[in-house]
Amino acid sequence: MAGKISFSSDYTKGAHPRILERLSETNFEQLDGYGTDGYCKSAADKIRSACAAPEADVFFLVGGTQTNQTIIDMLLKPYEGVVAAQTGHVAAHEAGAIEFSGHKVLTLPSFTEAGNTEGDGAVYSDQVGKIKAEDLKKLLADFYADDNHEHMVFPGAVYISHPTEYGTLYSKAELEELSGICKEYEIPLFLDGARLGYGLMSRRTDVTLQDIARLVDVFYIGGTKVGALFGEAVVFPHKVPTKHPVPIIKQHGALLAKGWLLGLMFDTLFTDNLYMDISKNAIDMAEELRKGLVEKGYKLYIDSPTNQQFIVMEDDRLKELSEHVRYGFWEKLDDSHTVIRLATDWATTQEDIAELMKYL
């Protein structure tokens, strides 16, 4: 892969220099393990403040799949499953990790409204990849209307991601509607925030971190894809729903012995607005990329308002591009065209965009 410029994902780089500096400065400190250290406490306090959720329980886990599996297992009873979009990460790209833990993923169709692209020519609008409130309401109503529902997998929680796998975002009104349905049926709403910073800093969002903390029962702030070496910060704004969460985290391989590494990274990310600032960089670079793609006449596959941009390419042209650029395969559109993903990140530069455009 040497010599190729990479836009294949947003976790292909190491960590922000401020994190590396602090890791080096504290390298010989001797600290208590498993998240009981002062750095984890400081990071949790800063996250509570940023979320305007002073009573929140905060935990630091090692990665996204472990986090999704741990949270869902923590929320559900043995006979319950989790509702997710059919394109959701837990349904499509986690190798059956949720089912491996004993819970079924109950899928809903993804919202794929087309034709609302304001002249950019995208195949799908910025609604693709999301759960529609009316579909969730119907699933829950139909389940309890079935006289045999005691013999079925109960819908015990709802999983959404923000941004979605397609880089799209829920509006505040949509989150409020989903939250209201979950409250009506007394099931928790879980928001996967692996790319949360990029969603919060999108130029087309009306959702804040405080809104999320108010409207969902649990969410996580992604570090792996947003400036940290690894790790996710899990936030239960209204307290964790189980008496002993740490054993559950450990059972899922998500508890790091050297937990202070996670605490220190998130403490750094939530000092002086660093998390939001570097997330904004990814959005700014994605907007430059999008502009360049449209100017060159590329067909956008999705009207994505975040750091993931999707384009349709002729297969013959794609073979030439692959000699210079690492991209993410998305799907085959037809016999001669492929959809690819180009992702910016917290460290993408204008020089990176300029070099990419030379090959497009």
Q: How many other CB atoms sit within 10 Å of the CB of residue 347?
A: 18
CA angle 141, 145, 148 (to 5 degrees): 130
pLDDT higher than 50, residue 35:
yes
Q: Do residues 48 and 136 both lie within one domain?
A: yes
Q: 82 is written with which tokens?
A: 């989790």
Q: 10 is written with which tokens?
A: 């947003």
| Over residues 43-60, mean pLDDT | 98
pLDDT in the model for residue 356:
97
pLDDT higher than 70, residue 83:
yes
Looking at the structure of the chain, the number of domains it has is 2
Helices (H), 296-349: 315-321
Q: The domain that contains 332 carries what CATH number?
A: 3.90.1150.10
For 30-43, give the DSSP string.
---STT-SHHHHHH
DSSP 151: G
Q: Do residues 142 and 237 both lie within one domain?
A: yes
pLDDT in the model for residue 118:
52
Q: Do residues 233 and 310 both lie within one domain?
A: no
Q: Do residues 226 and 296 both lie within one domain?
A: no
Q: What percent of the chain has pLDDT over 70?
A: 97
Which of 255, 273, 291 is the endpoint of a domain? 273
Which of 227, 247, 273 is the endpoint of a domain? 273
pLDDT in the model for residue 126:
86
- Residue showing tokens 């989903």: 178
Which of 273, 304, 331 is the endpoint of a domain? 273
Q: Do residues 68 and 133 both lie within one domain?
A: yes
**Those residues with Cβ within 8 angstroms of residue 284's Cβ, 6 or more apart along the chain or in another chain:** none
pLDDT in tens, 99-130: 999 999 999 988 765 544 555 678 888 889 99
* 3-class SS shares of the chain: helix, strand, coil, % to 5: 40, 20, 40
pLDDT higher than 60, residue 308:
yes
> Phi and psi dihedrals of 247, rounded to 5?
-60, -35
Q: Do residues 23 and 126 both lie within one domain?
A: yes
| Over residues 171-176, mean pLDDT | 98
Q: What is the pTM of this model?
A: 0.96
Centroid of chain to Cα 217: 16
Q: 215 is written with which tokens?
A: 């409207």
pLDDT in the model for residue 309:
98
Q: Do residues 302 and 175 both lie within one domain?
A: no
| Over residues 66-76, mean pLDDT | 98
Q: Do residues 307 and 177 both lie within one domain?
A: no
Q: Is 137 exposed, middle or buried (0-12, 13-18, 19+ CB in 10 A)?
A: middle
Sign of torsion, CA 23 25 30 36? Answer: negative
- In the chain, DSSP finds a helix count (H) and a strand count (E) of 14, 13
| Over residues 177-188, mean pLDDT | 98
pLDDT in the model for residue 98:
97
| Over residues 247-267, mean pLDDT | 98
| Over residues 30-43, mean pLDDT | 98
Look up the domain containing 342 and give its range: 5-12+275-359
Closest by alpha carbon to 101, among 82, 125, 123, 120?
82
pLDDT in the model for residue 1:
45
pLDDT in the model for residue 111:
73
User: How far separated are the first and last CA of the chain, in Å rounded?
Assistant: 18
Q: Do residues 193 and 306 both lie within one domain?
A: no
Q: Do residues 304 and 267 both lie within one domain?
A: no
Q: Do residues 167 and 305 both lie within one domain?
A: no
